[in-house]
Structure 1
């Protein structure tokens, strides 16, 4: 996993910020992320503007730590995301 994903302990989560060159590139990423979410059954929190998206992947309800599924999801997002910068 890229070092720019920040792991937080309370509550357990992964955070990242992706920046884009254009709104069209951002939309393409959001469409890909939506398809990935449907396929994997994992729905991160997304907050976005014209040229960035902040992503938070939370641990499952009732768990105190992240499972491999959340870490895998982050890696899959990287496969089609632009440069990830510190959140």
Structure 2
């Protein structure tokens, strides 16, 4: 599976998940929704029939906000939804 891309401006982690069918895409979105609610963490999403783009931003809105180990741990939990 591809790695998360870490951007500096704006600070975020990004990853594109690709699926074979719309059903697989929808199942992933459902699992991601459950994980997000359980973690009280809601990434930015864009998606189409067979892909989902996920963007994680730091919890802080401060100008000097940085990604933390919690951000990377949440990204890992998202990866586990497709393993």
Task: State TM-score, norm by structure 1.
Answer: 0.85
Once the two structures are TM-superposed, the CA of residue 64 in structure 1 deviates from its matched residue by 2.2
Higher relative contact order (CA 8 A, sep 6+): 1
User: Within the alignment, does 1:5 sit opposite 2:4 as a pair?
Assistant: yes
Corresponding residue pairs, total = 81
| 1:68 partnered with 2:69 | yes
**Deviant stretches of 4+, over 2 Å:** none
1:85 is aligned to: none
Unaligned runs of 5+ in 1: 83-87
SS where residue 16 of structure 1 aligns?
strand
Deviation at 1:3, TM superposition (A): 5.6
Is 1:52 the counterpart of 2:51? The answer is: yes
1:14 counterpart SS class: strand
